[in-house]
């Protein structure tokens, strides 16, 4: 049982480049989330989804986009990378009975 | 405006003693509270939770206390073990325990010294 799988684990981007952070879960959870954690800060919600085809903005959505074409996958897209997007990104899924399961994170540096 | 506050960035405790981690919240609509533990280079993992209809929940060495009037909760770890050394996040939800859209505090780094 893999849980929540995030790829890549590390990435360095140049300013203005774009990339997609991948997230897949195998628990059939309807709810999925993207959080970012800046140094010394808590996790802040970027985007979330309550099911396939449905996404909504969280607390810090600017500069990001998401899609949810299947229950399993919830990719996060950065279109024009900026230094302010240097952070650790966590994908998570949840259900009322299972609670939250987090991926191991993607450490992104924008230079 | 930070709705969930963990005002102690770090805490150091001797092995075998009690660790008390504190958390305050400002939104009185929060009705479900959780504690997560995070090791370096890993995602947070669920530790213990409490519904707003309770004031205490125990799970082995971990106990969470909730004081709704003070909008305060605390996590007690007794006895503390070196393997408990990690960052602990307090989180709150508006969703009645459905584990949906959590608001996190900044975390407290607990170090348990042998």
At a CB cut-off of 8 Å and minimum separation 6, what does B69 contact?
Answer: none
What is the tens place of the pLDDT at every residue in B37-94? Answer: 999 989 999 999 999 999 999 999 999 999 999 999 999 999 999 999 999 999 999 8
CB pairs under 8 A between A and B: 56
> How high is the pLDDT of residue A95?
87
Q: Is pLDDT above 70 for B97?
A: no
> How high is the pLDDT of residue B39?
94
- B79 preceded by a cis bond (ω within 30 of 0): yes
Minimal CA separation from A13 to chain B, in Å:
20
Question: How far, in Å, CA of A52 to CA of A30, rounded?
Answer: 8
If one counts every other C-beta atom within 10 angstroms of the C-beta of residue B69, the result is 5
What's the token pair of residue B71?
């909008």
> How high is the pLDDT of residue A71?
97
> How high is the pLDDT of residue B100?
75
What's the token pair of residue B22?
């504190």
Radius of gyration of chain A (CA): 13
> How high is the pLDDT of residue A107?
96
Minimal Cβ distance to B46: which of A43, A96, A100: A100
Q: Which of A58-62, B12-16, B23-27, B92-96 has the lowest mean pLDDT?
A: B92-96
Question: How far, in Å, CA of B62 to CA of B54, rounded?
Answer: 16
User: Which residues in chain B touch residue A95, judged by CB atoms under 8 angstroms apart?
Assistant: 99
Minimal CA separation from A84 to chain B, in Å:
18
> How high is the pLDDT of residue B101?
82
Which residue of chain A comes nearest to B40, CA vs CA?
Answer: A104
What parts of chain A have a pLDDT lower than 50?
none
Which residue of chain B comes nearest to A50, CA vs CA?
Answer: B100
């Amino acid at each position: 049982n893999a849980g929540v799988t995030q790829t890549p684990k590390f990435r360095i981007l140049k300013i203005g480049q774009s990339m997609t952070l991948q997230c897949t879960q195998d628990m059939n959870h309807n709810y999925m989330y993207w959080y970012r954690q800046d140094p010394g800060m808590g996790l802040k919600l970027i985007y979330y989804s309550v099911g396939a085809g449905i996404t909504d903005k969280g607390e810090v959505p600017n500069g990001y986009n998401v899609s949810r074409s299947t229950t399993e996958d919830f990719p996060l897209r950065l279109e024009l990378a900026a230094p302010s997007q240097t952070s650790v990104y966590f994908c998570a899924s949840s259900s009322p009975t299972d609670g939250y399961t987090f991926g191991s994170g993607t450490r992104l540096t924008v230079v | 405006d930070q709705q969930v506050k963990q005002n102690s960035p770090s805490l150091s405790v001797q092995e075998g003693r009690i660790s008390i981690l504190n958390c305050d919240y400002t939104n009185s609509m929060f009705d479900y509270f959780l504690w997560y533990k995070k090791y370096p280079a890993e995602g947070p993992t669920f530790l213990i939770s409490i519904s707003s209809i309770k004031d205490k929940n125990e799970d082995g060495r971990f106990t969470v206390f909730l004081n709704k009037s003070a909008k305060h909760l605390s996590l007690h770890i007794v006895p503390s073990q070196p393997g408990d050394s990690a960052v602990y996040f307090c989180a709150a939800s508006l969703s009645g325990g459905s584990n949906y859209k959590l608001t996190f505090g900044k975390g407290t780094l607990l170090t348990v010294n042998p």
